[in-house]
Amino acid sequence: MQLQVIDARLMQKAFLAGAKGLEAKKEWINELNVFPVPDGDTGTNMTMTIMAAAKDVAAMEEPTMESLAKAISGGSLRGARGNSGVILSQLFRGFTKEIKTVEAVDVKTLARAFERASETAYKAVMKPKEGTILTVAKGMAEKAMELAEQTDDILAFAEQVAAYGDQVLAQTPEMLPVLKQAGVVDSGGQGLMQVIKGALDGLHGKEVDLAVPASQAPRTEAGSYGAAAGRGELDTADIRFGYCTEFIINVEHPYDEKTEQEFKGYLESIGDSIVVVSDEDVVKVHVHTNDPGLAIQKALTYGSLSRMKIDNMREEHQERLIQNAEQVAARQKAEEAAKAAEPRKPYGFIAVSVGDGLAKILKGIGADYLIEGGQTMNPSTEDMLEAIRCVNADTVYILPNNKNIILAAEQAKYLVEDKQIVVVPSKTVPQGIAALINFIPEMSVEDNLASMKEEMERVRTGQVTYAVRDTVLDGIEIHEGDIIGLGDRGILAAGKSIESTAVETLMALAEDECELVTIYYGSDVKEEEAQAVADRFGKLRPDLEVEVQAGGQPIYYYLMSAE
């Protein structure tokens, strides 16, 4: 069997098969995390990124190469999570720039698309590191350009490119010693290969379930969900508006801020629980109403509709879920109305964090909006955009508080035009706290950013959790179930006792000159247990001031900082 061109319909199938190929292996990819901690999330981040695009692609009935390119690029960009997800979205962005200008893709176009994908992804990363997903993408691009002169059979071409990608992936431990030490290949590169192999299955015509599941309910401030957990018998008399109506408007007529306010006003006249989110020429709409047709008719005046979904809530048996959703929507509506009535502030702050205690601390020192997230759940670029929209300020500072979230924040920065966005590259919550405390209103944006970066560099961070597999890292032998202490650059301690490992981690953190040590205890730790750690460490280092704070974070027994 030979294949000389890929039309839009086959490209659609190949992309969806690639998304499914990644989704099927996401947990395995998560387990390739270098550190044996219980929150490896590369597979999850990459899957959520590609699925954000797959939903739009799957909804297309008559795709063209141009419309596919737009859906893949835009969807993955807005859904990008974590460094691996952002890089994957940039690979798609470069790839689609090359294919969108043709009606059908041949080998030479495909080779140029691989090359452009690699170039675009490298440019998106400030300090590209070899031995990662970038290296795998570049290797396949180079092989693709070489093979483009040797064959016009797409299947033979793609199989050889994929095989070479596997070879490059197998070499990543030789390029990054930390991978070799952990006995794993690069997880992002492995994720990319699952996309490529899934797409190859699609091109071969293999039967693949291309159905795309509905996405999780969006997170709101402080981590509330639009639909909370809990089930019960439904009292239909309590439901004022019976149809939950959702759709996307593909804008084809003038649609500015004034138009959006008028549209929201109309929806308020026919329903409640309204959410309208605009992104360039795409508008996402959610409304509870007794007449979905009215909402749809109005929306059609702005453009065509896709991903339409109407649920009869009176037939559902999820009373608490719906009631909580309405409460959240009502609170959001009230808060947004209040904020809209306020004069625009000169500056505002968005911080990423998880845990009630940490949220309270960040709010207390000036954070305007919190996005729930961190190691286990990296927020997407779209989450960032929603947070930016809700902060009524000329300049908005974003504190990602995790190295795996900085790229998503940078992506959001370049999509905002009506506000100045400043990404403060905090890699941990303690760094973010230090940066926020040292913000000085009278200083310029440039001077504040420099000052906050300087203060962050004074903070060393430690984390205590448990190991999910056996390994040897930094010369320390670790067994599944061991308690481990992580620092900014690697493993600091390992043992069987949470308290002893925490104290050992603190001692390693406080080796250099420092004055203050802060211990944030997690949701699985009692206050008296945290105080016991502080007391034991205090006896070893009586020269230091030690503070204990309730963090409430999951998975990590303790977060620690030394400054």
Please provide the distance, in angstroms rounded to a whole number, between the alpha carbons at the two ends of the chain: 65
pLDDT at 222 over 70: no
Q: Judge contact between 399 and 426, C-beta under 8 A.
A: yes
Mean per-residue pLDDT, 365-379 = 83
Q: Judge contact between 42 and 29, C-beta under 8 A.
A: yes
pLDDT at 282 over 70: yes
- What sign for the dihedral angle of Cα 118, 119, 124, 129? positive
Distance CA(551)–CA(561), nearest Å, equals 12
Distance CA(283)–CA(169), nearest Å, equals 39
Residue 458, CA distances (Å) to 379, 534, 561 in order: 26, 21, 10
What integer pLDDT is reported at residue 317 of this predicted model?
41
What integer pLDDT is reported at residue 280 of this predicted model?
67
Q: Judge contact between 351 and 399, C-beta under 8 A.
A: yes
52-67 as b/e, with b when 16 or more CB fall inside 10 Å? bbbbbbbeeeebbbeb
Structural tokens at position 176: 């990054």
pLDDT at 321 over 50: no
What integer pLDDT is reported at residue 388 of this predicted model?
93
What integer pLDDT is reported at residue 490 of this predicted model?
83
What integer pLDDT is reported at residue 316 of this predicted model?
52
Contacts of 53 (CB under 8 A, 6+ apart): 15, 19, 71, 72, 73, 74, 75, 76, 79, 92
Q: Judge contact between 35 and 473, C-beta under 8 A.
A: yes
Q: What is the pLDDT of residues 484-509, one digit of tens each?
A: 999 888 889 999 999 999 999 999 99
pLDDT at 66 over 90: yes
Backbone angle region of 434, left / alpha / beta, with phi > 0 → left and psi within -120 to 50 → alpha: alpha
Q: How confident is the model at residue 314 (pLDDT cuts 50, 70, 90)?
A: low
Find the angle CA(450)-CA(520)-CA(42) to the nearest 5 degrees. 70
Distance CA(291)–CA(47), nearest Å, equals 35
What integer pLDDT is reported at residue 340 of this predicted model?
55
What integer pLDDT is reported at residue 217 of this predicted model?
37
Highest mean pLDDT among 199-208, 240-249, 326-335, 362-371: 362-371
One-letter amino acid for residue 464 of the chain: V
Contacts of 333 (CB under 8 A, 6+ apart): 274
What integer pLDDT is reported at residue 240 of this predicted model?
67
Q: How confident is the model at residue 470 (pLDDT cuts 50, 70, 90)?
A: confident
Listed as own residue / partner, the contacts of 206-214 with beta carbons closer than 8 Å and 24 or more positions apart are 206/17, 208/16, 208/17, 208/20, 208/21, 209/20, 210/13, 210/16, 210/17, 210/20, 210/58, 211/58, 212/16, 212/19, 212/51, 212/54, 212/55, 212/58, 213/51
Residue of 244, 242, 235 lying closest to 318 (CA atoms): 235
Place of tokens 């947990």: 27
What integer pLDDT is reported at residue 235 of this predicted model?
41
Neighbours of 440 (CB within 10 A): 10
As a whole number, the mean pLDDT across the chain is: 85
Q: What are phi and psi of 164, to 5 degrees?
A: -70, -35
Q: How confident is the model at residue 286 (pLDDT cuts 50, 70, 90)?
A: confident
DSSP state of 524: T
Distance CA(410)–CA(384), nearest Å, equals 10
Mean per-residue pLDDT, 421-431 = 94
Q: How confident is the model at residue 137 (pLDDT cuts 50, 70, 90)?
A: very high
pLDDT at 563 over 50: yes
Contacts of 492 (CB under 8 A, 6+ apart): 462, 485, 486, 504, 505, 508, 509
Listed as own residue / partner, the contacts of 179-182 with beta carbons closer than 8 Å and 24 or more positions apart are 179/34, 179/131, 181/472, 181/473, 181/474, 182/34, 182/35, 182/36, 182/471, 182/473
Task: Name the β-bridge partners of 478.
Answer: 471
Q: Is 258 exposed, middle or buried (0-12, 13-18, 19+ CB in 10 A)?
A: exposed
Residue of 361, 287, 318 lying closest to 552 (CA atoms): 361
pLDDT at 313 over 80: no
Structural tokens at position 387: 């947070």
Neighbours of 230 (CB within 10 A): 11
Distance CA(231)–CA(241), nearest Å, equals 19
Find the angle CA(182)-CA(35)-CA(26) to the nearest 5 degrees. 95
Residue 454, CA distances (Å) to 178, 259, 313, 447, 506 in order: 28, 44, 53, 11, 22
Q: What is the pLDDT of residues 230-280, one digit of tens each?
A: 323 334 444 567 788 888 888 888 888 788 888 888 888 888 877 777 766
pLDDT at 219 over 70: no
Mean per-residue pLDDT, 458-469 = 89
Distance CA(400)–CA(389), nearest Å, equals 16
Q: How confident is the model at residue 437 (pLDDT cuts 50, 70, 90)?
A: very high
Mean per-residue pLDDT, 395-423 = 91
DSSP state of 560: E
